[in-house]
Each structure stands twice: as C-alpha cells, then as structure tokens.
Amino acid sequence: MVADESPELIPARMVNEYVYCPRLFYLEWVDGRFADSDDVALGRHVHRRVDIESGSAPRPEEGVLREARSLLLSSPALGVIARLDVVEGEQDHVVAVDYKKGKPRSDGTPWPSDEVQVVLHVLLLREHGYTCDRGEVYYAATRQRVPIVVDEDKALWARECVARARAISERLTPPLPLVDSPKCVRCSLVGLCLPDETNTMLGFTERAPRRIVPKDPDTAPVYVTEPGSMVRTRSQRLEVTKDDEVLASFRMIDVSQLAVFGRVQISTQTLHELFDRAVPVLWFTYGGWLKGWAYGLPSKYVELRRQQTITHAQGGLGLARQMIAGKIHNCRTLIRRNARCDQQAVTQALAQMGRRAATADSLSTLLGIEGTAARLYFQAFPSLLAAPEFADAFAASGRNRRPPRDPVNAMLSFSYALLLKDLIATTLAVGLDPYLGVYHRIRYGRPALALDLAEEFRPLIADSTVLSLINNAEISASDFISRAGAFSLTPNGRRTLIRAYERRLAATVTHPLFGYTISYRRVLDVQARILAGALVGELSDYTPMTTR
C-alpha cells in the first residue's frame, strides 16, 4: 500500500489570511490556533444566512444555476478548497459573491486579502465547468458590492499566493510578526501572536509595545467547594445545585475554568460543553491537593510539543536558569518591600545567588543555589507578617508541608495549589505539555512544566496573597482547623483565600520588559507564550517576569 502524499487542500479563506499576514496564516492553518474576538463574532453574524446551504447547484450540462448558498468546491490542481457564500446565475454565466463584515478601501477597491479569496472562488467555478468572469465582495458595513474582474494576471497572482502559502506551511516555525503594523491592533490572534512583544525582544523595533487586550476579559474561574453538590448545564448556564437547590449559576461564556474540591459531581453533559469551549476542569481534594484535570482534545500545535520534548531531553538548563533567577529576584523584592526589620544581609545574599543562578553550569548546581535561596527567604518570611501569632508559629516550624504544621504553611500550600492549576490551564491553552519540564524532575503525575513556570510567580502571586490576608487582618485563627498538629483551612477560610487569590490575579502590574499595564492573570499567559517562543527558536531565550 502506498501512502497518500497528495498535498492538502488549502481553504481559500486561509489564503486570504496569508495575504493579510503570513504569520496569521501559519498560526491558524498550520498550528490550528484560533481565538475569538468582537470582530470574529460580528463576522459570524454577517455570515449567518449565507452559511446555510440552500438552492440547487446543477452542473452546467445538467441545468441552470439560479442561486446557491454555502456551495463547497475544491480543486486538487489549484490546491484549494472553498465554501462559497453565494453563487448567482446571470443568463449564461455565474457570479461568486463573498460576504465581509467591514468596508472597502478608501478608494472603493477591495482589500487584497479579500480580492484573492474571490479570485480563487472564480477559478474554482471555472474548473467545475461554469462560465465565470467576475466575482463580487459584499461589504456589510457600507452595504455595497465591489466587483472583481478576473483576468489572466489576477488568476496568475492568486495561484502564486497559493504556492507561497503552501511553501510557508511546510516550514517548522512561523514567519516573524509584522513590525509596527496597524493590522495587528484588530487581529483576533494578537494575544497569541504577541507581535510587539516578540519584535521588542528581538530588537526589531524601538517602539514601546502596544497594550494587548486580554482575550476574554470577562471570563473567570468557577470554584465549587460545597460537599455533595452537583455541577450541571442548563440553558447555556453552568449551575451548581445541592438537594435540588440552585447554589450558584453562571453564564457558560463567562467561565474560563472549573475547579472542584472534594465530593463534587459533574454531569457528562457539562463536561462535553466545557470541552467544546476549551475550558479545563480541575479536581482537588477537599484539603486543596490537585488530583487531576481534563481538557478535551490536545492542542494542534505539534511543532511546539516536539521542540518542548527535545529541549526536555537535552536538559533545558538555559531556560531553568532564567526561571530560578527570576524567582530569587522576586523573593528579594518581596522582602525589601514588606520586611518589618532589617533584612539587608538576606537581600544582599539573595542578589548574589540570583546572579549565580543565571550562570549555573549544571542543574545540580542550580538546585543547590535555589535551595539555599529558599531557606534564606523563608527564614526572613516571618518578618513580613504583621500578626505575631502567625509569624511566631511559622518561625518555629519554618516552611513545611504534607501536612502543614502551622496556619501560614497551610495558606502557602493552598495558594501554591491554586497557582499550579492556573498554570496548568495556561500551558494547555498555549499548546505546551504541562508534564515535560526543564527544571523539576519528571515523576508520575507531576506537572513539571507548570511547576517550572510557577517558580517566578510564587512570591508575586501566592506569597503576596498570604501576606495580604494576614497583614490586612482578613483571616484569623478561627479560619483554621488543627488535628494532631496538622493545620488546614476551614470552608470559610478556603473561600476567603480563594477570593484574595483571585483579587491578586486581577491586580494590574507594569510589565518590566514591555512597559504596558496588564493583570497578573494575563501575565501568566504572556510568560507561557514567551516560553513557547523560546522553545521553537523564535526567541533566543526565556525572560522571566520580575518586579522592582
């Protein structure tokens, strides 16, 4: 048996994307990465009628085509497949009409990306025997049709665009982003592509990166902690019920992830709906230990996972050094900002170890540096706490876990679990494998890469959440349970910590490298995408998120 090596047909819509931006074409067609936006939603609304198949489309020798909508045509010779919005019959010929939500150029002509798509539609109709000498673009914003006469020059140009798009699709890495292009501002993939950020890190532009807009600014995690509750879907809403009583209800479009603790059931219908929306589900023990997650189909970004596997197999020392140097820097900053007594000796030692971490010659050396830095950091941690009862208990036992032996350690462990689940969700969304890390050792069931990314964010997000709860007197001894010397949070204590954690993620920060202000939740996504760029060779190195 001979394998089918015929080239895959490229949708005409993807050739449109190629002419608009080669990188956008690569990200969508080759990597299968898509993102919704207001413009994309408006485009779907404009196409709502023409996307429904209607009208007969007999071949020319079989009858007369009067009008057909959503007509699927393909051509191996042209190497293109397309779904034509409308084909109208006019006497002895037909006209291809393509619907667009926007408006034509200022001189009334169509945009090149729209034009190439219509030209390909005309060529497809010709290959199927129809007489077609022109197409039209209907621009919904101005309610006008712009005709496109397809001559030999136009046909040759369109074929060349298909050939160039196919050549790019065979590359292992995407083209570099456009530089300072106005096209990027309204692009649905700007948050995935990071054009300004990539060009800044590569030194291709001196312009400050434009502020990127979060993909879904209104979405948020849903936490279910009530024992015996059930999560269902009803009328496009996520409902949490117990004993037939509705405890909470959320619009599905507002849910970014579902985190359930302990004895909570989730209906199969709900899982299907969440998977269709690429919303991860994460299961925790009642005490806050992450047990597992489910996400639906894996990312189509195969090259990223391949390069991640290669980097993991080679050790990934360069990436690990940057992550740990970033963590030590942020630990030092947290002490400098919050210490209630002189900790200059500790901060100076941390500064020195941060420099050593950035140049460590092996993972074992890096592990030793990180371990020493962590010991010094947690020795100084009680000096950051305003409540003596919490500070004294932590100072007596130090950092410990499994089980935590004081309230501060119980909060730290719970916060780290929340941070880990967010980074698992982030790595899955980017297309990374959470298990294949560059610093943490591989163990059965351990999300090593998510733990790697968590290092620089532990002081910035998790530790800062604990500090704010204690120093603002938002939590007290009554929010903890002690059994045989082990401490855990009460249900009210867990809810209090989760609220504070989400508040911290929503807080904004000025990115030290790019200069714009975004939320910490968005920073998690940006850093994961910078790591992906470093893994596939688009960026020379990983740059951690650090604050001053």
Q: Indicate the SS3 state at residue 18.
A: helix
Which value, in Å, is the radius of gyration of the alpha carbons in the chain?
Answer: 28
* Cα–Cα distance measured from residue 453 to residue 450, given in angstroms and rounded to the nearest whole number: 5
82 forms beta bridges with: 73
CA distance 333 to 347: 8
- Of the candidates 260, 266, 456, 214, which has an alpha carbon nearest to the alpha carbon of residue 354? 456
Query: Alpha-carbon distance 90 to 93, whole Å?
Result: 5
Is 370 within any annotated ligand binding site?
yes
Residues contacting residue 82 through CB under 8 Å, at least 6 positions apart? 11, 12, 13, 72, 73, 74, 117, 120, 121, 124
Q: Is 329 annotated as a binding residue?
A: no
Q: Are strands 281-284 and 290-294 parallel, antiparallel or unpaired?
A: antiparallel
The Cα 320–Cα 326 span in angstroms is: 10
Task: State the residue for tokens 């109709």.
Answer: 125
3-state secondary structure of 407: helix
Return d(Cα 450, Cα 424) in angstroms, integer: 5
d(CA 72, CA 146): 22
Concatenated DSSP letters of 197-236: HHHHHHTS--SPPPPPPPS-TT-EEEEE--TT-EEEEETT
Please name every residue paired with 481 in a beta bridge, in sequence order, or none if there are none: 488
Structural tokens at position 143: 């309610």
- 538 annotated to a ligand binding site: no
| Residues 296 and 428 sit within 8 Å (Cβ to Cβ) | no
Per-residue DSSP letter, 67: E
Other CB atoms within 10 A of residue 279 CB: 23
> How far apart (Å, rounded) are the C-alpha atoms in residues 106 and 184?
19
User: Strands of 230-234's sheet, edge to edge?
Assistant: 245-251, 237-242, 230-234, 265-266
Q: Which residues are annotated as a binding site for Mn(2+)?
A: 370, 440, 455
